[in-house]
């Protein structure tokens, strides 16, 4: 897991170069025939990556994006009517029958279909109008790391070309170096705080909620910790009742418009006795965990999760687990 996470910056560098022409062309086509809405089809880490794509899409383009449960197609046989809409399927393997069947059903319903897949010429890619390779390379660890980061970078590159955002494109050029710096951040304080934990909350907001969801999954997969992700705006609507003295809460607060609210929430959590682990950039004096600035608000989640992956691998080992072989799990999961 750790080796593959450290390999992510070079994989992302190659991906951004190799996909530039195809995504620039796709962005032009989407501007010429803009979809009225979009939907995503994914499972697990890929679904968290889809949430990142959805947030950026809604933020910059103002079109609604929904995550579709595959069972609506595979079990309920929903009568899709999707003319003028875009369906984006995301998968590491591109093999799961429910994703393939759903993409086929959405296409029959009139949607334009796009697949972001790490395994080229996959069944999911063949079921889509266009397959965009992630170029993350073979991932042997069951817990996805570099393929998740590669999905986020592909989504950001697509949105940058689609919206002709020169600032985001320039920041993407520097992203591999940023990810390398992020992988070198020392989060040993989190390892020490969580080595005996059995539950915790992970909090993010905006596009950062997608990496809070991913981090919570990794805590479950690799460390056998019952971790739950929440938006910083949602956590006070009920989940706060769980907080007691010493309850661990990991707060992702990178630079951006969401940061002020997340810092205020972290202060409040500490005031009621939670064991807060605040991840923030150098402008925040009270941070516990360091973040490397990604140079653009939309790319901050990638820096956050890259630093997290190193900590998660170290925490798993400190707890006596093998992060590469989580119990009961397989690399490819086939559901319907």
88-137 pLDDT tens trace: 999 999 999 999 999 999 999 999 999 999 998 899 999 999 999 999 98
C-alpha neighbours within 13 Å on the C-beta side of residue 207: 28
264 contact partners, CB below 8 Å, separation of at least 6: none
Same domain, 225 and 118: no
Token pair in block for residue 47: 């679904």
pLDDT over 70 (residue 327): no
Same domain, 6 and 151: yes
143 contact partners, CB below 8 Å, separation of at least 6: 1, 218, 221, 222, 312, 323, 324, 326
177-214 pLDDT tens trace: 999 999 999 999 999 999 999 999 999 999 999 999 99
pLDDT value for 330:
54
pLDDT value for 326:
62
133-183 pLDDT tens trace: 999 988 776 678 999 999 999 999 999 999 999 999 999 999 999 999 999
* Dist. CA 281–CA 235, nearest whole Å: 22
Q: CATH number for the domain including 312?
A: 3.40.50.10490
Angle (nearest 5°) at CA 161 between 42 and 81: 45
Contact 208, 181 (CB under 8 A): no
Same domain, 19 and 126: yes
* Dist. CA 202–CA 230, nearest whole Å: 6
30-40 pLDDT tens trace: 999 999 999 99
Q: Which of 216, 180, 219 is nearest to 5 (CA)?
A: 180
> What number is the average pLDDT over the span 325-329?
56
Same domain, 198 and 311: yes
pLDDT value for 328:
46
Q: Is residue 330 part of a domain?
A: no
Note down the domain range covering 294. 187-319
* Dist. CA 298–CA 173, nearest whole Å: 14
Q: Is residue 182 part of a domain?
A: no
Same domain, 285 and 149: no
Q: Is residue 174 part of a domain?
A: no
* Dist. CA 68–CA 45, nearest whole Å: 15
Q: Is residue 259 part of a domain?
A: yes
Domains in the chain: how many in total? 2
Q: Is residue 35 part of a domain?
A: yes
40-63 pLDDT tens trace: 999 999 999 999 999 999 999 999
pLDDT value for 61:
97
């Amino acid at each position: 897991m750790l080796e593959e996470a450290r390999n992510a910056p070079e994989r992302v560098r190659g991906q951004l170069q190799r996909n530039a022409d195809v995504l620039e062309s796709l962005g032009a086509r989407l501007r010429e025939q803009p979809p009225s809405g979009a939907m995503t089809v994914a499972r697990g880490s890929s679904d968290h990556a889809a949430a990142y794509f959805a947030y950026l899409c809604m933020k910059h383009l103002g079109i609604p994006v929904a995550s579709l449960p595959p069972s609506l197609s595979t079990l309920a046989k929903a009568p899709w009517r999707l003319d003028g809409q875009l369906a984006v399927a995301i998968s590491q393997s591109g093999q799961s029958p429910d994703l393939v069947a759903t993409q086929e059903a959405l296409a029959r319903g009139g949607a334009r279909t796009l697949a972001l897949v790490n395994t080229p010429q996959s069944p999911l890619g063949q079921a889509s109008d266009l397959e965009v390779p992630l170029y993350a390379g073979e991932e042997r660890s069951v817990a996805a790391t570099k393929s998740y980061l590669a999905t986020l970078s592909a989504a950001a590159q697509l949105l940058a070309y689609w919206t002709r955002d020169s600032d985001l494109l320039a920041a993407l050029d520097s992203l591999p170096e940023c990810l390398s710096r992020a992988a070198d951040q020392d989060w040993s304080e989190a390892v020490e705080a969580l080595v005996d934990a059995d539950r915790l909350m992970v909090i993010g907001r905006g596009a950062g909620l997608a990496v809070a969801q991913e981090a919570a999954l990794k805590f479950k997969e690799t460390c056998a910790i019952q971790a739950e992700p929440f938006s910083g705006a949602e956590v006070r609507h009920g989940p706060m009742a769980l907080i007691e003295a010493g309850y661990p809460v990991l707060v992702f607060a990178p630079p951006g418009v969401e940061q002020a609210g997340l810092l205020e929430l972290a202060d409040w959590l500490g005031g009621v006795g939670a064991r807060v682990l605040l991840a923030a950039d150098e402008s925040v004096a009270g941070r516990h965990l360091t973040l490397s600035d990604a140079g653009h608000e939309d790319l901050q989640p990638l820096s956050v999760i890259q630093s997290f992956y190193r900590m998660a691998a170290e925490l798993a080992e400190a707890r006596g687990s093998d992060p590469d072989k989580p119990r009961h799990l397989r690399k490819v999961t086939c559901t319907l």
